[in-house]
Structure 1
Amino acid sequence: MPSPPITFVIPAYGQWPRTRACLESIAAHVPADQCEVVLVDDCSPDGTVQEASLLGPVLFGERFALLTSEKNRGFATAVNRGARHARGTQLFLLNNDTLLTSNPIPPCLDLLESDPDLAGVGPMLVYADGPDARIQHLGVAVAYGLKCVHLYALFPASHPVARRRRRLQVITAAALCMDRELFLAHGGLHEGFINGMEDIDLCARLAHAGYHFAVSPDAVVVHAEHASSGRFDKEAANDALLHRRAAGLLAPDMAALAAKDGYVLRLTPWLDPHLLPAPERLATLDAAATAEPDAIFLRLEDEPCWPLGYDRLEAAFRNNRDWSRALAAAVRRSAFLPSLDAFHAILELAQKAGDASRAEEASRRIHEIRRRLARPERLRETARNAMFQAREAEDAGLAGALRIWFAEASGTSRPDYGR
């Protein structure tokens, strides 16, 4: 049997219904001559091995391989094992909590082959399919240091930012197409990480070697983010390992990437990054603002980072004592414009709406923010290091955000959001 052009490498640990759906979506959308599938079971506690051994050959015939393990060795080890077993010249790393809704191979390969400096290409990941789809992953931006965030997460998938092609330093390995030999030559995923940050480490090493990454807006995959149990159990250890291995390998790029789309970088008092429309755009939005909730909601679809829009929307629902819709507006605001005020509003409105789960989550978030704010010297040291990095990289956008942060930290009680 001739080698296929691409091998899907899918690590799995339990959650057989998700794995089955993922495999069936590949079979439904990818022609048989374009791929093989290597499923790497990491000692699943359910019936994954038995079920996959029956379903895989039915869906893919000889193009299916099932690798099993007698011990759960983690995501990185499973992916590396699958990559070594693959026969395709290209790998397509794919989480088992994903669903293909079309064939992502041609657009990913076309983009990868169009630029020799690209180490890898990923599809745009969305939370759900359909006209109301929201972006889960459009690439990872580096705010400062190793502070990485998903660029434009929760924006409508139909938003213009989703169509722009960008050179990136980091993308997720939840869906990543790259040359097999390049992957193996750079050591694959570092197996010291436990189910987290392996992809940032890999991308940082390749970015330091002169490569870039990209996301193809013409390839879309549904991703049930964080569906795996215990996803964050080793977060602190993974973060420490990443800092030991990758400190200094990535340059800040969030401000520059955002500026190309008409946004400016801002930082919360606890130094989490977020975006605002550029001042001219913000002034235009504010000047045209109404008090009519439906009109405001539509405008927030066009501009999810509009502060006054959330003020007006939440106020309208509060005036009508529509606590559930006011809560939804406050939650949405917090996703794009995080602040202590936003989380206190969520707590208050969740209590009025009788949403105990949301109230508990808001309380937890408030506690975590206060814990971080209780260490002002640590925050100032982080900000000083970020300012040094901004000057070294000649990153005016990051430097400007930090100057605003220092000014607010020295006495301003409320951020002015750049106005």
Structure 2
Amino acid sequence: MHTPPLTFVIPAYGQWPRTSACLESIAAHVPPSQCEVVLVDDCSPDETQSGAAALGPALFGERFTLLRNETNRGFAASVNLGAAQARGLRLFLLNNDTVLPANPVPACLAALDGDPSLAGVGPILTYSDGPDARIQHLGVAVPYALKCVHLYALFPAGHSVTRRQRRLQVITAAALCMDRGLFLEHGGLHAGFVNGMEDIDLCARLSHAGYGFTVTPKATVVHAEHASPGRFNREAANDALLHSRAAGLLHPDMAALAAEDGYALHLTAWLDPYLLPEGARLAELDATGPDDPHAILETLEQEPCWPLGYDRLEAAYRKRGEWSRALAAAVRRSAFLPSQDAYRAILDLASRAGDTARADDASRRLADTTRMLARPEGLRQTALAALEQARESGDARLSTAFKQWFAANARTFRP
């Protein structure tokens, strides 16, 4: 059997219906000449082993390899095992809760081949397929320190920000194409992480070594994010390990990345980042934006970070007594423009609309952010360190964001 140009490495723990859908989508869209598939069953408690043993060969023949961990070892160890057994020159790491709506391989390989300084390329990840699809992953941005966020999460999949390829320090390993030799040379994923942050660690090491990453706008994969059971069980330990290993390996880039698309970085009182259109664009929207709810919704599709648009939309629905629509507007606002006032509005509207699930979620968010704000000295020290780093690096945009944060929270935090 010839050496395949690429190996899909798919770790799986349970969720056999999702895994089978992932395998079937690869078989449907990726020609046999382009790939082999290595599935690593991480000691699944369901029918993954027997199901894959039957379906894999039926779909891929000799191009399918099934591996199994005798104990549950986690995402990183499973990916590393699959990569070690892969024969392809390139790896395509792929979560088992993904579906390919089309073939992402040519676009990812073209981007990788076109720039030798790239360590890895990923497709755009969306939550669903079709005209109402929303962005899940367009790359990872670093607003400050080692805080990492998905850039433009929940933006419409057809938004203009998705049409540009940008150089990044970090992308997700949920769908990551890279050279197999480079992956192995740099030790693969660190197995000390348990189902989280191992991809940030890998990208940080490679970025520090001079490589970059990108997401190609010419490929899309649908991802049921956080479908794996126990996804956040070790989040605190993973975060501590990441800080011990990757401190100083990444630099803040979110302010610069956002500015390239006409956005300015802002920070909540608890230091979560969010974006606003830069001055002139925001003023134009406020001056000329519509008042009719339908027209406002259309405008928010083009500009999801327009505060006055949400004010007008929610007010219009409240006036009509359309509580479910007002609630939907408030929830949407909180996703792009988080604040405690936004969570209080959701709580109020959820009670009026009889939506207990939304009310409970808003209550949890209020409680969580209140706990964070109850430790002002820790937030202040984080902000001071980030401001000093911005000044030392000459990052005027990031410096402005933290100066604005201190000004907005002057009663509690002083620089």
How far off its partner does 1:392 sit?
2.5
Match in the other structure for 1:216: 216
Match in the other structure for 2:371: 371
Paired with 1:124 and 1:346, the residues of 2 have a C-alpha distance of 30
Match in the other structure for 2:265: 265
Paired with 2:238 and 2:98, the residues of 1 have a C-alpha distance of 23
Where in structure 2 are the equivalents of 1:44-55 lying within 5 Å? 44-55=44-55
Match in the other structure for 1:390: 390
Where in structure 2 are the equivalents of 1:81-230 lying within 5 Å? 81-230=81-230
Match in the other structure for 1:314: 314
Asked whether the equivalents of residues 327 and 349 of structure 1 are also in contact (C-alpha less than 8 Å), the reply is yes
Amino acid paired to 1:141 = A
Deviation string for 1:364-413 (max 9, x for gaps)? Answer: 00000000001111100000111122123221111000000011111399
Paired with 1:290 and 1:124, the residues of 2 have a C-alpha distance of 31
Paired with 2:224 and 2:388, the residues of 1 have a C-alpha distance of 37
- How does the TM-score come out when normalised to structure 2? 0.99
Amino acid paired to 1:137 = H
Asked whether the equivalents of residues 16 and 46 of structure 2 are also in contact (C-alpha less than 8 Å), the reply is yes
Match in the other structure for 2:43: 43
Give the root-mean-square deviation of aligned CA atoms: 0.9
Paired with 2:376 and 2:240, the residues of 1 have a C-alpha distance of 21
Match in the other structure for 2:305: 305
Q: Secondary structure at the match of 1:147?
A: coil
Paired with 1:409 and 1:278, the residues of 2 have a C-alpha distance of 21
Match in the other structure for 1:333: 333
How far off its partner does 1:289 sit?
2.2
How far off its partner does 1:70 sit?
1.0
Amino acid paired to 1:104 = P
Paired with 1:393 and 1:344, the residues of 2 have a C-alpha distance of 38
Amino acid paired to 1:154 = L
Match in the other structure for 2:281: 281
The structure 1 segments of at least 4 consecutive aligned residues displaced by more than 6 Å after TM superposition are none
Asked whether the equivalents of residues 252 and 393 of structure 1 are also in contact (C-alpha less than 8 Å), the reply is no
Deviation string for 1:293-343 (max 9, x for gaps)? Answer: 000000000000000000000000011111100000000000000000000
Paired with 2:319 and 2:249, the residues of 1 have a C-alpha distance of 51
Asked whether the equivalents of residues 79 and 189 of structure 2 are also in contact (C-alpha less than 8 Å), the reply is yes
- How does the TM-score come out when normalised to structure 1? 0.98
Of all paired residues, the percent bearing the same amino acid is 72
Match in the other structure for 2:253: 253
Amino acid paired to 1:342 = A
* Unaligned stretches of 5+ residues in structure 2: none
Match in the other structure for 1:67: 67
Deviation string for 1:15-39 (max 9, x for gaps)? Answer: 0000000000000000001000000
Asked whether the equivalents of residues 124 and 217 of structure 1 are also in contact (C-alpha less than 8 Å), the reply is yes
Asked whether the equivalents of residues 376 and 412 of structure 2 are also in contact (C-alpha less than 8 Å), the reply is no
Amino acid paired to 2:375 = R
Amino acid paired to 1:397 = R
Asked whether the equivalents of residues 90 and 180 of structure 2 are also in contact (C-alpha less than 8 Å), the reply is yes
Asked whether the equivalents of residues 171 and 200 of structure 1 are also in contact (C-alpha less than 8 Å), the reply is yes
Q: 1:144 to 1:179 in 2, by over 3 A?
A: same
Paired with 1:37 and 1:261, the residues of 2 have a C-alpha distance of 37
Count of residue pairs brought into register by the alignment: 413
Paired with 1:391 and 1:79, the residues of 2 have a C-alpha distance of 39
How far off its partner does 1:269 sit?
0.4
Match in the other structure for 2:26: 26
Asked whether the equivalents of residues 42 and 72 of structure 1 are also in contact (C-alpha less than 8 Å), the reply is yes
Deviation string for 1:130-156 (max 9, x for gaps)? Answer: 011110000000000011110000001
Q: Secondary structure at the match of 1:93?
A: strand
How far off its partner does 1:290 sit?
2.6
Deviation string for 1:146-195 (max 9, x for gaps)? Answer: 11110000001101100111000000000000000000000000000000
Amino acid paired to 2:404 = I
